[in-house]
Amino acid sequence: MLKIENLHATVDGKEILKGLELEVPAGEVHAVMGPNGSGKSTLAYVLAGRPGYAVTAGRISFQGQDLLALSPEERARAGVFLGFQYPVEIPGVNNVYLLKAAINAARKQRGEPEVDAFEFLTLVREKMRLMRMDESMLSRGVNEGFSGGEKKRNEILQMLVLEPRLAVLDETDSGLDIDALKIVAHGVNTLRAPERSLVLVTHYQRLLEHIVPDRVHVLVNGCIVRSGDRTLALELERRGYDWLISEAA
Amino acid sequence: MSPAMTEQIRKEYGAVHAALPASVIEPARRDEAIERLCAQGLPTTREENWRYTNLRVLEHARFAPLETQGQAVPPLPEAPPGFVRYVFVDGLLRSGAAASHPGLTVRSLRTPGPSSSATWCPCPDFPEARLALLNEAFATDALLIEAHANAAPAGIELVFAATAGAQAGASYPRVRVVLEAGAELTVLERHMGAPEAASLVNSTVRADVGENARLTHYRLQQCAPRTAWFDTLTAQLAAQARYHLLTVGTGALTARSTVHVRLAGAGAELALSAAALADHQQSHDMYALSEHVAPNTRTTETFRGIASGRARVAFNGKIAVRERAGGSDSRQSLRGLLDGPQAEIDLRPQLEIYTDEVRCSHGATAGKLDQNMLFYLLSRGIAPQTAQHLLKWAFLEDVVARIERTELRRQIERDLASQMSAAATLKELL
């Protein structure tokens, strides 16, 4: 599904990713963990194609195609979804419009007709129930006046509606209380499927209690320094990152 | 103003004044207006409150009024439901329901009628209102709208169409709106024109909102691309009066609006919302003075302007709180969006406070499209052009969403989208 080779990326001229290697097969959930400043969010943004995140070397292949050759919107339509750490508020553009426009953009790419209005609303309502979101939120501006937890739930709602091939969730657990975390995790788990891959970028092991990963990778100073199964996350929880940082140095 | 222009205005006035209708404005008042204007001079860009206005268009203008009857009226947009329409062509009333509505009197002063205390109104006397003197001297028609005490809510639409070029003369739309105590009225004022005409329009509107009365005033400046549009609006609010003024400007080559609202009665409220969308070489300039004279008065001012191409959008909003206006509350939110390296936005929030115990807040920002918002939309598969249109749309919605009449709001939204060449990309929203 996703194969990253020797990825180097800079932000404002500073190298953040320094030869990162990562492979996520279809159907698997991988967690990328690491201390602050290790490059986790940069990796997420590079995958989504954010301007200002320059790839200076390496390649990323997504479903066999060169991801780096695609613009951000082309990546989204091809099935890459980024769940933002800090979802943006866009007053004046309502949630339902965004959802519909996003669905139709992907359908158009696949040569499919626009989504039927009734079918669309049925789908959105069903997913909203799953995320325990109030329907009134649909007519509100995107994330406008949402609490931190509501914003994160809204990210997952968008993901559930768009059904991406690859979802990269950037610290989706940050700022969530335990109840919200469970709702978000439940939403993510419903999307687990053999044809879909998930990359969870997170600081803490807590999220991984609810979304059990197939693999855990530790990112330190722009490189994956260790990979393992879910027990690696437990070890990190116990020992912190320092031992890996000194090993990497 | 150069002596040559003074001379020209005097000469033109001398040539036409005998033919100007006395029922619209008495000859003595016209003479006085010309004298005052010549003594004060036309504004120049050297003056602080005119520095962003394109005044060059006046240099080659003919100031005498057009006396045209029979010009082709450009296609008019559909009248929104609930409004009775009055159409003016080059300043003269062309059509409109003659009959009065219950509780409402609407009449053109060009046809002599019963005298009314409301017909007389002093020309505003402040430096920014000098162009109103020109209107007072030359106006060929005036519409008087009176909503009588406790009249039921009503809607009046005024369409001002300019069809002739400025070399033939100017048009002087003139409106007086009077709401007696407890009346409720919505006025929709639309300025437009024949597509090819490089017209000069100089309008004045005076509104008096009585105690507990409520005036909702929508103003759409949709003039033809080569038009020069000048406008002076003055309003006086009595105790507990509410005035909701909402303007959307998209047209004209150069547009300047001067607004002065006096909150004269305790508890009066002004909600001023303005949106401007300018492209190419357009220049849109608005000067708004909200003057709190009485206690517990309130102003909420919102401006959103987008400048693209080589356009300039300026908003100069001044809120003055006088000595007796304790307990007043004013909020100002001015935002400009620069869409292109050669576009210009000039925002100027001003507060002048002469008393204690008032609340005033203001904020002004000008910048480019928010790159975080843009990327968020792209990351959801939205095409870059659609995303940009969407964000500009959302920016203006801060103002447009305040239009309470749904049909009218939709019409304006469609106009804005087509002005942004975004009618196709935003069709889902229209």
Task: Return all residues near A117 (Cβ < 8 A) that are at least 6 apart.
Answer: none
Q: Which residues of B touch A87 (CB under 8 A)?
A: 376
User: Token pair of A203, please?
Assistant: 């600081």
- For chain A, percent of residues with pLDDT exceeding 70: 100
Helix (H, G, I), strand (E, B) or coil at B175: strand
CB crowding B165-186: b at 16 or more within 10 Å, else e: bbebbbbbbbbbbbbbbbbbbb
Tens digit of pLDDT at every position of chain B (430 positions)? 567 888 899 999 999 999 999 999 999 999 999 999 999 888 989 999 999 988 888 888 899 999 776 567 888 988 899 899 999 999 999 887 655 578 899 999 998 777 665 566 777 788 888 999 999 999 999 999 999 997 888 899 999 999 988 888 999 999 999 999 999 999 999 999 988 889 999 999 999 999 999 999 999 999 999 999 999 999 999 999 999 999 999 999 999 999 999 999 999 999 999 999 999 999 999 999 999 999 999 999 999 999 999 999 999 999 999 999 999 999 999 999 999 999 999 999 999 999 988 999 999 999 999 999 999 999 999 999 999 999 999 999 999 999 999 999 999 999 898 888 877 778 777 7
Say what the pLDDT of residue B88 is. 94
Q: Do B23 and B29 contact (CB within 8 A), yes or no?
A: no
Please tell me which of the candidates B376, B401, B428 has its beta carbon nearest to residue A90: B376
Q: Do B299 and B263 contact (CB within 8 A), yes or no?
A: yes
Q: Do A18 and A202 contact (CB within 8 A), yes or no?
A: no
User: Token pair of B239, please?
Assistant: 């105790």
Helix (H, G, I), strand (E, B) or coil at A107: helix
Amino acid at A64: G
CA separation, residue B356 to residues B192, B322, B353 (Å): 44, 10, 8
Q: Do A6 and A175 contact (CB within 8 A), yes or no?
A: no
Q: Do B116 and B146 contact (CB within 8 A), yes or no?
A: yes
Interatomic CA distance for residues B179 and B241, integer angstroms: 10
Q: Is the CB of residue B373 less than 8 Å away from at least one CB of chain A? A: yes
Interatomic CA distance for residues B242 and A203, integer angstroms: 54
Interface ipTM: 0.96
Amino acid at B302: T
Say what the pLDDT of residue B1 is. 52
The DSSP secondary structure of B221-248, one letter per residue, reads E---TT-EEEEEEEEEE-TT-EEEEEEE
Helix (H) or strand (E) holding A129: helix A117-130
Burial class, B148, CB count within 10 angstroms (exposed 0-12 / middle 13-18 / buried 19+): middle
Interatomic CA distance for residues B141 and B107, integer angstroms: 10
Are residues A88 and B372, on separate chains, in Cβ contact within 8 Å? Answer: yes
Helix (H) or strand (E) holding A56: strand A53-62
Interatomic CA distance for residues B171 and B189, integer angstroms: 15
Q: Which residue of A has its CA nearest to B381?
A: A73
Phi–psi pair at B35, nearest 5 degrees: -65, -45
Q: Is the CB of residue A107 less than 8 Å away from at least one CB of chain B? A: no
What is the 3-state composition of chain A as percent helix, strand, coil, each rounded to the nearest 5? Answer: 40, 30, 30
Tokens 């950037």, located at residue: A170
Q: Do B279 and B251 contact (CB within 8 A), yes or no?
A: no
Please tell me which of the candidates B382, B391, B393 has its beta carbon nearest to residue A73: B382
Size of interface A-B (CB pairs under 8 A): 79
Q: Do B393 and B418 contact (CB within 8 A), yes or no?
A: no
User: Token pair of B277, please?
Assistant: 């969308």
Q: Do A183 and A173 contact (CB within 8 A), yes or no?
A: no
Longest dimension (CA), chain B: 68
Q: Do A43 and A17 contact (CB within 8 A), yes or no?
A: yes
Q: Do B160 and B190 contact (CB within 8 A), yes or no?
A: yes
Chain A, 44-63: which have a CB under 8 Å from a chain B CB? 48-51
Query: Starting at the edge strand that comes first in sequence, how are the strands of the sheet with A29-33 ordered?
Result: A80-83, A166-170, A197-202, A29-33, A215-220, A223-228
| Disruptive mutation site among B302, B306, B378 for chain A (greatest number of A CBs within 10 Å) | B378
Helices B3-16 and B27-40, axial angle in degrees (round to 10): 170
Helices A178-190 and A148-162, axial angle in degrees (round to 10): 10
Are residues A93 and B391, on separate chains, in Cβ contact within 8 Å? Answer: yes
CA separation, residue A121 to residues A95, A116, A125, A133, B73 (Å): 12, 9, 6, 14, 45
User: Token pair of A97, please?
Assistant: 């419009």
Taking residue A148's Cβ as centre, other Cβ atoms within 10 Å add up to 14
Q: Which residue of A has its CA nearest to B370?
A: A90
User: Token pair of B312, please?
Assistant: 């300039």
Q: How far off is chain B from A225, nearest CA to CA, in Å?
A: 29
Helices B130-138 and B27-40, axial angle in degrees (round to 10): 150
Chain B, 382-401: which have a CB under 8 Å from a chain A CB? 382-384, 386-387, 390-391, 393-398, 401
pTM over cut 0.95: no
Say what the pLDDT of residue B331 is. 96
B150 in the Ramachandran plot: left (φ > 0), alpha (ψ -120 to 50) or beta?
left
Interatomic CA distance for residues B383 and B425, integer angstroms: 9
Q: Which residues of B touch A160 (CB under 8 A)?
A: none
Q: Is the CB of residue A82 less than 8 Å away from at least one CB of chain B? A: yes
Amino acid at A194: P
Q: Which residues of A touch B395 (CB under 8 A)?
A: 92
User: Token pair of B350, please?
Assistant: 């001003």
Tokens 């890459």, located at residue: A80
Any bridge partners for residue A23, and if so which? A3
Longest dimension (CA), chain A: 57
Phi–psi pair at A188, nearest 5 degrees: -65, -45
Say what the pLDDT of residue B430 is. 72
User: Token pair of B167, please?
Assistant: 């070399």
Interatomic CA distance for residues B102 and B95, integer angstroms: 19
Q: Do B220 and B191 contact (CB within 8 A), yes or no?
A: yes
Q: How far off is chain A from B344, nearest CA to CA, in Å?
A: 24
Interatomic CA distance for residues B272 and B289, integer angstroms: 10
Q: Which residue of A has its CA nearest to B386?
A: A101
Please tell me which of the candidates A50, A91, A100 has its beta carbon nearest to residue B375: A50
Low-confidence ranges of chain A (pLDDT < 50): none
